[in-house]
Amino acid sequence: MSEEQFTNVSLIVLLTGLIIFIGFIIWDLGKKSNAGKFGMFILFLVLGFGVLGFVLKNVLVEFLVLKQ
């Protein structure tokens, strides 16, 4: 396995783990603050948009780089 392959695989695995961990942090934040169902929905919606934007940015960059 080359360094480039290792970097690509570890980036995917570690970023997936980080995103799951961020989801756990959002869930824990809502639980500790007694947010309720609607509050938990808003927390995941608003804070999840940041993670979604990060992922979409990377996907778009990959597609634009692959087209060239």
Asked if residue 18 lies in contact with residue 25, where contact means CB atoms within 8 angstroms, the answer is: no
> Is pTM, for the whole model, over 0.75?
no
For residue 64, what is the enclosing H or E element? helix 36-67
Question: What's the pLDDT band for 11 if we cut at 50, 70, 90?
Answer: confident
pLDDT of 68 > 70? The answer is no
Instruction: Write the pLDDT tens digit of every residue in 19-57.
Output: 899 899 999 999 999 989 999 999 999 988 888 888 888
Tokens of 59: 């996907």
- CA 25, CA 32: separation in Å to the nearest integer? 10
